[in-house]
Amino acid sequence: MAKARRKEERRKRDARRGRLGPGRYDALVAELVRCVKLAFEAGATGSLFGMEGPLRHEIRSDLCLQAWGWAAADLLVRDLLSDVFNKVGAERPAWNEGQPEWVIESGTLIERTRCVNCSRPLLDGRKKFCSDLCANTHHARVTYRKEMTEERILATVSRWI
Ligand SMILES: [Zn+2]
């Protein structure tokens, strides 16, 4: 079943690319690879993914103006940028590295001066939390979030709104 599903997804992906026009998909990928590399090497972006948002928005917008539906345009741009980032060898950081509580790695210039949990100044050589109480509270909160089911996530988020 998984093989059949992958085959169907590949067929849909190829149909989206084909709708763009013969050779246009590959030409777009090549051009975007050049732009992404140029922007990164010139220091205009902090990572190879630096232009992902604006590119995704602009290309999707252009496709919509050419009578593509939003969802189809978004899927094509997703495929396009995925191929671009594969070609430039960009690797996304792990989920943990994207979280605000990510621990400072050795060699990183940024150093915490405030407690992650309560924002009080860090004293006595502490690196992340001002006290064990704050550390335990923070870890309990993160564990709670990681173990959330879809229903609990929806209930929690709807309370924030
Ligand atoms: Zn604290």
pLDDT band at 108 (very low <50, low <70, confident <90, very high): low
Q: State the distance from the centre of ligand 1 to the C-alpha of 135, rounded, in angstroms.
A: 7
What are the structural domain ranges in the chain? 2-88, 97-160
**Environment class of 72 (CB within 10 Å of its CB; exposed 0-12, middle 13-18, buried 19+):** middle
Q: State the distance from the centre of ligand 1 to the C-alpha of 125, rounded, in angstroms.
A: 14
Q: State the distance from the centre of ligand 1 to the C-alpha of 144, rounded, in angstroms.
A: 19
Q: State the distance from the centre of ligand 1 to the C-alpha of 61, rounded, in angstroms.
A: 45
| 9-15: long-range pairs with CB below 8 Å, 24+ | 13/75, 13/79
Q: State the distance from the centre of ligand 1 to the C-alpha of 122, rounded, in angstroms.
A: 8
Q: State the distance from the centre of ligand 1 to the C-alpha of 120, rounded, in angstroms.
A: 6
Q: State the distance from the centre of ligand 1 to the C-alpha of 126, rounded, in angstroms.
A: 10
**pLDDT digits 0-9 by tens, 19-34:** 887 788 999 999 999 9
Task: Write down the H helix ranges in the chain.
Answer: 2-20, 24-41, 52-65, 70-88, 132-146, 150-160
Percent of the chain with pLDDT over 70: 92
**pLDDT digits 0-9 by tens, 111-141:** 788 998 999 999 988 988 999 999 999 999 9
What is residue 62's predicted lDDT score, i.e. its pLDDT?
Answer: 94
Q: State the distance from the centre of ligand 1 to the C-alpha of 121, rounded, in angstroms.
A: 8
Closest Cα to residue 64, out of 83, 51, 48, 77? 77
DSSP state letters, 54-84 = HHHHHHHHHHHHTT--HHHHHHHHHHHHHHH
Q: State the distance from the centre of ligand 1 to the C-alpha of 48, rounded, in angstroms.
A: 35
Q: State the distance from the centre of ligand 1 to the C-alpha of 137, rounded, in angstroms.
A: 9
pLDDT averaged over the chain? 87
Q: Is 96 in contact with 102 (CB distance < 8 Å)?
A: yes
Would the pTM count as exceeding 0.85?
no
